[in-house]
Structure 1
Amino acid sequence: MATPATSNALNAASRLVRSHSRILSCRLSCPPRPPAALLNTRLKHSDTTSPPHDRKPIKRLSPRSQNTTTSLRRVALEAQRSRDSLIRRSGKHGFVDPDIHTNQVTAYCAAEQYDIPTATRVLKQEGYCLDPWNTALYPQVIHFQTPDYSTTDASGQDSSAAPGDVFVFPSGTLVCWNVPEHVQLNLLHRLLLPAAESPHLDRIEIEDLEYIQDSSHHTSEIIGDTIILGTKPSSTESSTEAATPLPSSDVDTVLAKIAFSSGLARSTKLAVLEDLLSSYFSSTRSIPTILSRGSPLRFSRSFILRKTGELLSIRAQLNLYSELTDSLPDIFWDSPSSLGLSAYYDEVGRALDVGVRIKVLNERMDYAGEIASVLRERLSEKHSTGLEWLIIFLISIEVGFELWRIWRERQERLDPASTEALLRHLLLRDMHQHDSVTCPR
C-alpha cells in the first residue's frame, strides 16, 4: 500500500510526462516559426481573447542594436559599391567603366630643356599664380592653374569647367590636366618658347592618359590607361578642414598629380630619344647592305663624325644628362613616404613600359654603336691610307730628285764644254807646266 508521499511523487511524475508529451506533439504537428516572427509576436501586445483572423499582420522591426553593429559594415559596402561603379572586375583584369565621364591629362616634350627662371618670369608676366598650393617644389617643377573656361558640347550648349593644372619640368616637358587644347598649344608655341633650349616644335612627342577623381579613396592608382585619382580626405583632415584655408587633402592631390606628371614627362622624353635613334638608323640603313656586298664605304669624314656625335648625344641624354634611368627622381626624395608618390611614379612607368623601353633603347644603341665603330674604322683606315700614300709620294719625289741630280752630274762630266770639263782641262795643263819647270831635261 502506497504512502501519501509516494502517491504525490507519482502524480507529479505523471503530470510532467504528460506535459512533455504535449510539447513534443505540438512541435511535431506545427511548423517551426522563424525567430524574427517569434520576437515580433512577443513584442506585440497579446490579445488572447481575439480570434486569429482579427489580428493585424506582423511588421518586421529592426532593433537599434542591429543598426549599431552593422553601421560600419554598411559604410564599407557603400564605399565598395561606389568603387565598383567606377571599376569593373578586379586584379589584372580590372577596367574602368566606359560610360563614366573622364578628363584628359596630356604630356608634351617640345624642347631639350626649359630654363626655369625664364619660364617663371614669362608666366608671371602673363598673370599666372605659381605654386598656388605651396608645395615648395620649385625649381624642380613649376605648377600653376588655368582659369575657369567654358566649353561647347555636341548639342551646342555652353558649360563651364573646373580650372586645369599645368606642370612645367626642367627636362623640356609640359603636362596639362584638364586644360583645353588651344591653351596647351598657346603655352607650347608662344609662352614657353623663350625659355626653351634647343626646341623641336616640328617633332613634339605627346602622351595622353585619362583620369577620374574618386572621392571614396585616399590613394590613387592606374587601371589600364586611366588614372584613378583618390581625393577622399582622411578623418584628421576632415576635422580640421574648416579651420585650414588650404586643406591638406588638396595638397596631397596636387602632389599625386606631380608624381603622375613626372612619370608622363619621363615617357615623352624617352619617346624623343626613341625618335632620334630611329632617324639615326634611317640615315645608316644602307651601311650593312654595302658591307654585305663587299663594296667600299664611300662616306665623307664630316658624315662619319656627325653620326658618331649624334649617337654619343643620344646615349648621354639617356644615361647621363637626365633622370630617365634613375629609380627615383630628386623631386620625391623629400616627400613623405606616407603619400606614396614614388609608387605613383613607378605605376606610370609600368603602365607605359618605361623600363622595358629603356632596356630596348640601350640595346638598340649598342647595335648603333657597332655601326658607328665600323664608320670610325673606315675613317681611321681612310686616314691611314691617305698618310701612307702621302709618304709614298714624298719618298718618290725624293728619289726622283736624287736620280735627276745623278743624271745631271753624269751629263756634266760627259759634256766637254761644261764648266767642270774646262776646269779639269785647265788643272791638267797647269800640272804639266809645273812638272816641266821643276824637272828640266
Structure 2
Amino acid sequence: MRLNCAIHDVVVSCARQFYSCSTSSRLTTHLSGRLCMLTPFKCVHKCGLLNSLEAVAPLEQQRYRAARKNARKRRPLTAAYDFQPIIGPYVVAIPLAESFDLSTVAKDSRLIEVYQPACVDEESDEGLHFVPKDQYIIDRESVREFFVFADGVVVFWGMENAERAQVLRCLERHVESEYDSRMVQEEIDTMPFALKDEGSTQISSDQLLLNVGKYERGHNSSFSILERYSFSHGMAASVKVAIWESQLSEQAEPLAATTKALSQGVIPWRRKEALKKTGQFSALRHSINLNCNLLNTDFYWEREELEHFYEMALRHFTVPRRLKLLNSRLDYCEDLVKLIDGMLSHRHASTLEWMIIILIIIEVIFEIWTFTDSAPTKVVICEEQPRATDD
C-alpha cells in the first residue's frame, strides 16, 4: 500500500510539471510510458491513479489556457496572404560551371540518342536547344525541353527530377571550372509556367503564362521557342548572378576579422595575401562585367519583340538591382584591400628608411671609433735629398 501511495505521489507531481509545458495528449503519452515502468496495470487501478490524473488534468489545462490568453499572439505580415502552391510544370535553372563546351555537348552520344539538338539561331553560338525525339515524346501538348548556355547554365522546361538528373550527368562531362555541389543546390531557381490560348505572355502571381494560341503550331512554333529561349536567357542570368553573390560572400567573409584587427591597430595581412585578395576580386569583377554573355543583349538588336521577354525575366528576378549592389560591394572590398596594401607598402618603405638610417649610424660610429682608437703616425721630414752611393 505504501508503495502504491508513493507511486501515486510521483505520478501526480510529474503530471503537474508536464502540464505546465505541454498539452493533455502529450501528458497521456508521457505518463503511459512511465506507468508501465513503475507498476503493473492492475496496481494502477487498485490505487486509483487514473482517477487522480483525471482530477489533476482539468486544473492544469485551465492554468495553461489562461496563460495563453494573457500572452499576445504575434501574427506575421505574410499571414495576410493565402498562399496556395501552384502545381504544374516548372522552369528550372541550374548553374553547373563557369562554362560549357557546346561543341562537345552537341555531339554527346548519350544526349543525341534521346534528344534532338539544335542551335537557337544561326548567328548565335551561345546556346543549344534540346527536344525529345518523336519516339520519346509522351504528350505533344506539353512543353518538354531544355536550353544549354555556354556560360555554364542549363534551363529545363517541364521535365521531371529523374530526367533532369540524367541530363545533368551527361552535361557534367563537358563543363569547365565546375561549381561546388553545395553552391549549385543553393542557387537553383524554379518558376511554374502554364500555356494559354489568349491574352499576352506575362508573369502573374509568380507564374509564367505563355500565350501559344496565336501561333499556328502552338508551342512548337519557332517564335514560341524563341520566346522561351529569351525568358530562359534572363533566368540563366539570374542564377549566374546568384553564383557571383555567393562567391563574393565567401571571399569577403575574412574581411570582417580584418577590419576588426585594423580597429585595434594591427595589420593582419602580408603583402602576398593582399595581392591574392586583389586578384580574386578583380577576377570576379572581370567575370561579371566582361566575361559573361548572359548579360549581353547583342542577340536582341534586331529582335526587339524578343528582348521584351528577356527584360521581363530580368525585372522579375531583380537582376539589374542585384548587379548594381554586387558591383558596389566589390568596390568596398577592393577599396579595403587597396587600403591595406597601401599600409603594407608604407610600412615596407618605412622599414627600408630605418635600415638605411641604421646603416649610416653604424658607418659613422665605425669611423669615429677608427679615428679615436688608432695611434698617430710618426712623420720624418728630411731637409736634404738623399745621396746616391756608388757601388
Same fold (TM over 0.5): yes
The CA deviation string for residues 210-235 of structure 1, in whole angstroms up to 9 with x for no partner, is 11111334x4111132110111134x
Partner residue of 1:109 out of 95, 98, 111: 95
Q: 1:199/1:401 Cα in 2 relative to 1: closer, same or farther (>3 Å)? A: farther
The residue type equivalent to 1:318 in the other structure is I
Seen in structure 2, the aligned counterparts of structure 1 residues 398 and 113 have a Cα distance that, compared at 3 Å, is farther
Select which of 250, 254, 272 maps to 1:279: 250
- Could you say what secondary structure the match of 1:171 adopts? coil
Kindly indicate whether the alpha-carbon contact (under 8 Å) linking 2:277 and 2:337 is maintained by their aligned counterparts in 1: yes
**1:148-163 paired onto structure 2 within 5 Å:** 148=136
Q: Deviations over 1:143-167 (max 9, x none)?
A: 11246488xxxxxxxx999572111
Where does residue 150 of structure 2 map in the other structure?
170
What secondary structure is seen at the aligned counterpart in 2 of 1:179? coil
Alignment length (residue pairs): 302
- Report the Cα distance in structure 2 between the residues aligned to 1:393 and 1:360, rounded to whole angstroms: 49
In structure 1, distance between residues paired with 2:327 and 2:230: 25
Q: Map Cα deviations across residues 186-209 of structure 1 (whole Å, 9 max, x no partner).
A: 433x32234322211332121111
1:266 shift after superposition: 0.6
Q: Indicate yes or no: 2:206 matched with 1:225.
A: yes
Of residues 143, 159, 163, the one that matches 1:179 is: 159
Pairing partner for 2:198 from 208, 216, 222: 216
Task: Tell me which amino acid in the other structure corresponds to 1:130.
Answer: P
Residue in structure 2 matched with residue 296 of structure 1 by the alignment: 266
1:131 paired residue number: 118
Identity of aligned residues (%): 26
Residues 129/249 of structure 1: CA separation in 2 closer, same or farther (3 Å cut):
closer
Measure, in 1, the Cα distance between the counterparts of 2:385 and 2:240. Answer: 104
Partners of 1:119 and 1:207 in 2: how far apart?
A: 23
Where do 5+ consecutive residues of structure 1 fail to align? 1-94, 151-158, 242-246, 415-419
| Distance of 2:219 and 2:141 partners within structure 1 | 23
Cα drift, residue 261 of structure 1: 0.3
Q: What RMSD over aligned residues (CA atoms) do the two structures have, in Å? A: 3.5
Q: Using structure 1 for the length normalisation, give the TM-score.
A: 0.60
Change (3 A) 1:220 1:437: closer
Give yes or no for contact 1:173–1:265 (8 Å, CA) kept in 2: yes
- 1:364 equivalenced with 2:335 (yes/no): no
TM-score for both structures, normalised by structure 2? 0.67
Deviation string for 1:127-183 (max 9, x for gaps)?
342118x75365121111246488xxxxxxxx9995721111112111111122233
Work out which of the residue numbers 177, 180, 185 in structure 2 matches 1:198.
177
Which of 219, 222, 229 matches 1:258? 229
The answer to whether the 8 Å contact 1:115/1:195 transfers is: yes
CA distance in 2, matches of 1:270, 1:173: 11
Is 2:298 the partner of 1:330? yes
Deviations 1:383-428 (A, max 9, x none): 2123223323443454455445545xx53x35xxxxx66xx6xx67
Tell me what 1:142 maps to. Answer: 128
- Displacement of 1:312 in angstroms is 1.4
Q: Distance in 1 between matches of 2:207 and 2:219?
A: 24
Question: Structure 1 residues 378, 185: CA separation in 2 closer, same or farther (over 3 Å shift)?
Answer: farther
Aligned residue for 2:125, secondary structure, equals coil
Look up the SS of the partner of 1:211 in the other structure.
strand
Question: Is the Cα–Cα contact under 8 Å of residues 116 and 170 in structure 1 kept in the other structure?
Answer: yes
Q: Deviations over 1:245-268 (max 9, x none)?
A: xx7962122111101100101101
1:296 corresponds to which letter in structure 2?
Answer: V
Any unmatched runs of 5+ in structure 2? 1-80
Cα deviation, residue 278, structure 1: 1.3
Select which of 241, 245, 269 maps to 1:270.
241
Per the alignment, residue 285 of structure 2 pairs with 315
Q: d(CA) in 2 for partners of 1:403 and 1:175?
A: 81
* Change in CA separation of 1:271 and 1:296 when aligned onto 2, cut-off 3 Å: same
Task: Give 1:277 shift.
Answer: 1.6
Larger radius of gyration: 1
- Tell me if the contact between 2:97 and 2:152 (Cα under 8 Å) persists in the aligned partners: yes
Separation of aligned partners in 2, 1:348 and 1:315: 23
In 2, the alpha carbon distance for the partners of 1:138 and 1:324 equals: 12
Q: Which letter does structure 2 place at the counterpart of 1:144?
A: F
Contact 2:274–2:341 (CA under 8 A) maintained in structure 1: yes
Determine the structure 2 residue equivalent to 1:85: none
